[in-house]
């Protein structure tokens, strides 16, 4: 027991020390889990509102119709028309962006991507970290900001009025290359609040979580229905297998 | 013996005089004797047939809504699963079904390795089976390319360019396959034609032949004993039982268990952690943005790992082809007197274990990025993979002569 305790203690020391040095060594991560739940209807509704207010100016959801969205998110037809459908569009239209593609290429160098399947190609975690790690970067002449998830992104910090503009505290770390030469690289140490926005950090995370949640739904709109049906299918198959097994057993009694 | 009951009137007699329904049922099911000692490994033949039928049926519906072509393929797939009622389910069954088809086929093949099912008199049965495997690989590859997602596209680039390594005719051959200088409408349309018409017909024919050959020689069993050599007074094998009702009922239990697992994946994890449906394929094909790691779907990655393990691409492609072709020669490479691994020596057991581990490791390595450690491991596994086929004739001859029981081992339950 004593030996075990010693082993445990030394392991704890080693790993504890590792954790501390990881922090000091600068590999503190900005990566976080989005912890969104597609079954959370109010969150999806807020996410839809966020998307239409802040994203749809540039990004389309060209495989999703307003009508489908409102039906799935339990938004009434009147609310749908009043709050979500863009003026000039019909409820049965696909959700297009308001920006002509030609202008977009001229302004940003490339057209902002359609986000219908962003949550499936990139994943909710990627989007969450993309939207939370914009930071001031004087080296970026286009937008004045950069991003940790997608360095060099052409997208400006559209949510700056909400989040504010944070800066990154970097620290220099010496790295030994394969040839033994020592080079200095900068590593992320933490964020530093800069210009503040209208939301505090917690509120902003909630805002992004709702938006990511909404995109998760749009990426796979049948997922809740699928899981609901799936439970019954699996239960039926288990019952079927049980009965089939009993029948088989009855017949196989004869085999000696 | 005619199964038609003489003197009994009615529709059944009328029909049987014109179409031998009863005769067929007797020949194929009630009068076909299979060894009574089948274990769980013997589910996968009927399950493979089930998967074939499922892919055909779901494929018919997917074809109704799919529009092949460079521009149209990917959007038509998205619209189909989002807007056509229950197409998310049918397309989901089809795409997850492809992976499960391979799981079942690999286990079916592993069974043959365990119990020597390829050995005389089942060489032709085995070779037809291997032709099915080849046709299935072509079918799956084309089906994978058709939606024109970004991984489909870049994966197709890599695979089709492999034909370019064939000396002399390579570059012309690649152009002939594509029907163009790059992947575009020409290739996507011909792949559609091959995927929905030509290869399913080839598969249907081969599966039919596989079953005819099986009925001719009879099933092997875990003990590797020929049940036809021990006949009872009635001329039926002592260790055999009629396929129907015994194995039809047992296979239905297998189907139930299998479909339960299948349904859990289809309904709750249809991408299976990005393995059955890869995330880059949720973006349309793009000439300018390459996926981070280009790799085929999991069922091809063992061969892909072999390709990447060899520095010379031409040699790599050759070894990759050899790795598949080597299976064909199993009936003649295995010179053991006993069929089943149960009655072989420790050397044979270790050799087979080495082969299974090599194959699974290669499969895993093919999914990893081409980093030095992984490439090194893939080289080791490539050596052990081929070492199996080279050593098998000697090892099998030397240590599989132990005593085999007279009758199959069966514990009644």
| Residue ranges of domains in chain B | 1-26, 31-275, 308-403
Pairing relationship of beta strands B240-242 and B33-35 according to DSSP bridges = antiparallel
- Whether A10 has a pLDDT exceeding 60, the answer reads no
CB contact under 8 A, A244 and B410: no
Model pLDDT for residues B282-339, shown as the tens digit of each residue? 999 999 889 988 999 999 999 999 999 999 999 999 999 999 999 999 999 999 999 9
CA distances from B389 to A155, B329, B383 (A): 56, 9, 10
Residue in B40, B78, B82 to test binding to A, most A beta-carbons within 10 Å: B82
A229 in B contact zone (CB under 8 Å): yes
Percent of chain A with pLDDT over 70: 89
Residue in B37, B40, B248, B260 to test binding to A, most A beta-carbons within 10 Å: B260
Residue in A248, A251, A253, A255 to test binding to B, most B beta-carbons within 10 Å: A248
CB contact under 8 A, B256 and A240: yes
CB contact under 8 A, B249 and A247: yes
If one compares A14 and B280, the residue with the highest pLDDT of the two is B280
Judged by average pLDDT, the poorest of A94-108, A171-185, B103-117, B128-142 is A171-185
CA distance A41 to chain B (A): 19
Q: In angstroms, rounded to a whole number, what is the distance separating the alpha carbons of residues B158 and B154?
A: 6
Read off the pLDDT of each residue in A37-48 and give the average, rounded to a whole number: 96
Chain B hits for A39, CB-CB cut-off 8 Å, are none
Looking at residue A143, its pLDDT comes to 86
Chain A hits for B252, CB-CB cut-off 8 Å, are 244, 247-248
Mention every residue, 6+ apart, whose C-beta is less than 8 A from residue B54. Answer: B93, B97
If you count them, how many residues does chain B have? Answer: 413
Judged by average pLDDT, the poorest of A209-223, B166-180, B392-406 is B392-406
Chain A hits for B291, CB-CB cut-off 8 Å, are none
Percent of chain B with pLDDT over 90: 93
Q: In angstroms, rounded to a whole number, what is the distance separating the alpha carbons of residues A147 and A153?
A: 7
Mention every residue, 6+ apart, whose C-beta is less than 8 A from residue B210. Answer: B125, B128, B129, B132
The contact set of B with A (CB < 8 A) is 36, 75, 78-79, 81-83, 88-89, 92, 241, 245-246, 249-250, 252-253, 255-257, 259-260, 263-264, 266-268, 270-271, 279-280, 282-283, 410, 412-413
Chain A hits for B36, CB-CB cut-off 8 Å, are 255
Q: In angstroms, rounded to a whole number, what is the distance separating the alpha carbons of residues B413 and A256?
A: 8
- Whether A170 has a pLDDT exceeding 70, the answer reads yes
Read off the pLDDT of each residue in B177-188 and give the average, rounded to a whole number: 95
Looking at residue B275, its pLDDT comes to 95
- According to CATH, the superfamily of the domain at B31-275 is Cytochrome Bc1 Complex; Chain C (1.20.810.10)
Read off the pLDDT of each residue in B218-239 and give the average, rounded to a whole number: 93
Residue in A241, A243, A253, A254 to test binding to B, most B beta-carbons within 10 Å: A241
Of chain A residues 143-172, which have a CB less than 8 A from chain B?
none
Judged by average pLDDT, the poorest of A167-176, B224-233, B246-255, B316-325 is A167-176
Judged by average pLDDT, the poorest of A98-107, B8-17, B352-361 is A98-107
Q: What are B166's two structure tokens?
A: 């064939």
CB contact under 8 A, B75 and A251: no
CA distance B289 to chain A (A): 13
Chain B hits for A256, CB-CB cut-off 8 Å, are 412
If one compares B268 and A108, the residue with the highest pLDDT of the two is B268
Looking at residue A101, its pLDDT comes to 78
Q: What are B89's two structure tokens?
A: 């389910």
The angle, 0 to 180 degrees and rounded to 10, between the axes of the packed helices B248-268 and B87-115 is 130
A255 in B contact zone (CB under 8 Å): yes
Average pLDDT, chain B: 94
CA distance B256 to chain A (A): 5
Model pLDDT for residues A19-40, shown as the tens digit of each residue? 433 334 445 689 999 999 999 9
A122, closest residue in chain B (CA to CA): B279
A114, closest residue in chain B (CA to CA): B283
Read off the pLDDT of each residue in B42-60 and give the average, rounded to a whole number: 98
Looking at residue A100, its pLDDT comes to 81
Chain A hits for B280, CB-CB cut-off 8 Å, are 121
Q: In angstroms, rounded to a whole number, what is the distance separating the alpha carbons of residues A214 and B357?
A: 43
Return the HEC string of A14-68.
Answer: HHHHHHHHHHHCCCCCCCCCCCCCCCCHHHHHHHHHHHHHHHCCCCCEEEEEHHH
If one compares B7 and B324, the residue with the highest pLDDT of the two is B324
Produce one character per residue of B48-76: b if its CB has 16 or more CB atoms within 10 Å, e if not.
bebbbebbeebbebbeebbebbbeebbbb
Eight-state DSSP code of residue A136 = E
CB contact under 8 A, A226 and B267: yes
Looking at residue B297, its pLDDT comes to 95
**Alpha helices (runs of H) in B269-368, residue ranges in sequence order:** 301-309, 313-325, 330-333, 346-367
Radius of gyration of chain A measured on its C-alpha atoms: 26
Q: Would you call the peptide bond into B341 cis, given omega within 30 degrees of 0 as the criterion?
A: no
Judged by average pLDDT, the poorest of A243-247, B5-9, B59-63 is B5-9
Q: What are A13's two structure tokens?
A: 């020391």
CA distance A218 to chain B (A): 10
Of chain A residues 43-72, which have a CB less than 8 A from chain B?
63-64, 68
Please report where in the chains the tokens 């094909």 appear, as a residue: B285
Q: In angstroms, rounded to a whole number, what is the distance separating the alpha carbons of residues B378 and A48?
A: 47
Of A121, A226, A255, which has the smallest distance from its Cβ to B241's Cβ? A255
Produce one character per residue of B160-173: b if its CB has 16 or more CB atoms within 10 Å, e if not.
bbbbbbbeeebeee
Q: In angstroms, rounded to a whole number, what is the distance separating the alpha carbons of residues B92 and B87?
A: 8
Of A116, A122, A251, which has the smallest distance from its Cβ to B249's Cβ? A251
Looking at residue B7, its pLDDT comes to 57
Model pLDDT for residues A109-160, shown as the tens digit of each residue? 788 999 999 999 999 999 999 999 999 998 887 889 999 999 989 899 999 9
């Amino acid at each position: 027991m004593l030996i075990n305790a010693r082993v445990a203690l030394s392991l704890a020391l080693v790993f504890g020390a590792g954790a501390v040095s990881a922090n000091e060594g600068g590999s503190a991560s900005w990566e976080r889990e989005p912890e969104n739940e597609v079954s959370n209807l109010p969150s999806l509704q807020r996410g839809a509102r966020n998307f239409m207010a802040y994203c749809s100016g540039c990004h389309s959801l060209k495989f999703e119709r307003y009508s489908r969205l409102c039906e799935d998110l339990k938004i009434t037809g009147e609310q749908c028309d009043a709050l979500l459908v863009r003026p000039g569009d019909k409820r049965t239209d696909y959700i297009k962006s308001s920006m002509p593609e030609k202008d977009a290429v001229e302004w940003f160098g490339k057209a902002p991507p359609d986000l219908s399947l962003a949550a499936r190609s990139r994943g909710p975690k990627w989007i969450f970290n993309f939207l939370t790690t914009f930071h001031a970067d004087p080296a970026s002449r286009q937008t004045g900001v950069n991003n940790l998830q997608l360095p060099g992104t052409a997208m400006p910090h559209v949510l700056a009025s909400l989040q504010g503009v944070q800066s990154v505290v970097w620290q220099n770390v010496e790295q030994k290359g394969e040839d033994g030469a020592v080079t200095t690289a900068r590593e992320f140490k933490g964020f530093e609040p800069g210009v503040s926005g209208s939301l505090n950090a917690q509120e902003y995370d909630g805002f992004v979580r709702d938006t990511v949640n909404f995109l998760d739904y749009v990426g796979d709109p049948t997922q809740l229905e699928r899981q609901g049906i799936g439970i019954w299918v699996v239960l039926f198959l288990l019952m079927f297998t049980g009965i089939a097994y009993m029948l088989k057993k009855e017949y196989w009694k004869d085999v000696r | 013996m005619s199964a038609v009951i003489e003197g009994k009137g009615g529709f059944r007699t009328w029909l049987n005089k014109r179409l031998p329904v009863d005769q067929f049922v007797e020949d194929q099911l009630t009068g076909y004797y299979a060894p009574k000692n089948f274990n769980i490994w013997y589910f996968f033949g009927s399950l493979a047939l089930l998967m074939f039928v499922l892919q055909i049926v779901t494929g018919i519906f997917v074809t109704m809504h799919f529009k092949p072509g460079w521009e149209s393929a990917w959007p038509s797939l998205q619209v189909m699963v989002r807007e056509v009622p229950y197409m998310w389910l049918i397309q989901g069954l089809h795409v997850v079904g492809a992976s499960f088809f391979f799981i079942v086929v690999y286990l079916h093949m592993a069974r043959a390795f365990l119990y020597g099912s390829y050995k005389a008199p089942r060489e032709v049965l085995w070779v037809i089976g291997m032709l099915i495997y080849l046709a299935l690989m072509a079918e799956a590859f084309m089906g994978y390319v058709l939606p024109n997602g970004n991984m489909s596209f870049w994966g197709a680039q890599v695979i089709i360019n492999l034909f370019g390594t064939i000396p002399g005719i390579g570059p012309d051959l690649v152009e002939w396959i594509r029907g163009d200088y790059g992947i575009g409408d020409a290739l996507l349309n011909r792949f559609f034609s091959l995927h929905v018409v030509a290869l399913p017909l080839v598969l249907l024919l081969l599966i039919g032949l596989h079953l005819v050959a099986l009925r001719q020689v009879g099933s092997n069993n875990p003990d590797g004993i020929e049940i036809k050599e021990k006949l009872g007074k009635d001329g039926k094998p002592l260790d055999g039982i009629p396929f129907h009702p015994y194995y039809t009922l047992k296979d239905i239990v297998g189907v139930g268990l299998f479909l339960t697992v299948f349904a859990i994946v289809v309904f709750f994890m249809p991408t299976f952690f990005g393995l059955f449906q890869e995330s880059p394929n949720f973006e349309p094909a793009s000439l300018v943005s390459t996926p981070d790691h280009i790799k085929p779907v999991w069922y091809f990655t063992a061969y892909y790992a072999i390709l990447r393990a060899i520095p010379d691409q031409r040699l790599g492609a050759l070894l990759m082809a050899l790795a598949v072709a080597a299976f064909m020669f199993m009936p003649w490479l295995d010179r053991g007197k006993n069929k089943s691994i149960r009655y072989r020596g420790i050397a044979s057991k270790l050799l087979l274990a080495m082969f299974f581990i090599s194959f699974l490791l290669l499969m895993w390595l093919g999914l990893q990025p081409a980093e030095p450690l992984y490439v090194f491991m893939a080289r080791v596994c490539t050596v052990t993979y081929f070492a199996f086929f080279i050593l098998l004739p000697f090892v099998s001859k030397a240590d599989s002569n132990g005593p085999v029981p007279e009758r199959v081992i069966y514990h009644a339950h």
